[in-house]
Amino acid sequence: MRNLILSAALVTASLFGMTAQAADVPLEAGKTYVELANPVPVSVPGKIEVVELFWYGCPHCYAFEPTINPWVEKLPKDVNFKRIPAMFGGPWDAHGQLFLTLEAMGVEHKVHNAVFNAIQKEGKRLTKPEEMADFVATQGVDKDKFLATFNSFAIQGQIKQAKELAQKYGVQGVPTMIVNGKYRFDLGTTGGPEATLNVADQLIAKERAAK
């Protein structure tokens, strides 16, 4: 947790003071990004995978949303984007299970922003299943189906997988991005939200050229 707090402190200035420097970020292994010693297999073979690890309780992740969402919408067809909840215990796990449940139900795209707003702007904790179910019901999600899915064996398997992936990626803070299971970087290493996506674009092009 100490590393997570330090990481959050490092990115604060990047989020709010360095966005204008986002263009033409130099790719420097060990500085701008880290190349993983053991690449992690992608979830969709044949496509370039971009992963964002996040937490609903992270204000930096919330601040990143207006920048990353339009970028995701414009990604080319050979790129597969996926979000993975970082789960380091306590509310991290609760919120991660919430995300995975909504994703499994096929409604995450409809209520993702509402969940972020509820936690970041409205002060809701959303750490207990019943509290979550009551909230998502206000967004048109069936409460009983949500609870059944939340407590399902399938979701437990996805929780285990998410934790294993975060460990393999070597994630210590959020938001963190991974390109094609090979390259890890974040707002602190790149210099801000726009710079992070600039680095992602360059690494996507690098992987495309290597095919």
Cα 53 to chain centroid distance, Å, stands at 3
Report the distance separating Cα 134 and Cα 132, nearest Å.
5
Q: Is 83 within the bounds of a domain?
A: yes
Element (H, E) at 153: helix 153-169
Residue 66, helix vs strand vs coil:
helix
Q: What are phi and psi of 141, to 5 degrees?
A: -95, 135
Closest CA to 10 of 211, 188, 166, 144: 188
* pTM across the whole model: 0.89
52: left (phi over 0), alpha (psi -120 to 50) or beta: beta
pLDDT at 13: 40
Q: Is 34 within the bounds of a domain?
A: no
Residue 164 is part of which domain span? 40-182+192-210
pLDDT digits 0-9 by tens, 105-136:
999 999 999 999 999 999 999 999 999 999 99
Q: Is 137 within the bounds of a domain?
A: yes
24: left (phi over 0), alpha (psi -120 to 50) or beta: left
170 CB neighbour count, 10 Å cutoff = 14
Q: Is 5 within the bounds of a domain?
A: no
Q: Is 71 within the bounds of a domain?
A: yes
Q: What are 70-75's contacts with CB under 8 Å, separation 24+?
A: 71/197, 71/200, 75/50
Number of domains in the chain: 1
62 Cβ contact list (under 8 Å, min separation 6): 116, 120
Q: What are phi and psi of 84, to 5 degrees?
A: -130, 125
Contact indicator for 173, 186 with CB cutoff of 8 Å: yes
CATH of the domain at 105: 3.40.30.10
Q: Is 157 within the bounds of a domain?
A: yes
Q: Is 20 within the bounds of a domain?
A: no
Q: Is 29 within the bounds of a domain?
A: no
90 Cβ contact list (under 8 Å, min separation 6): 127
Per-residue tokens: 144: 């009983």
Residue 51, helix vs strand vs coil:
strand
Angle at 179 between CA 157 and CA 93, to 5 degrees: 35
pLDDT tens series, the chain, 211 aa: 434 544 444 444 444 434 334 457 999 999 999 999 999 999 999 999 999 999 999 999 999 999 999 999 999 999 999 999 999 999 999 999 999 999 999 999 999 999 999 999 999 999 999 999 999 999 999 999 999 999 999 999 999 999 999 999 999 999 999 999 999 999 999 999 999 999 999 999 999 999 8
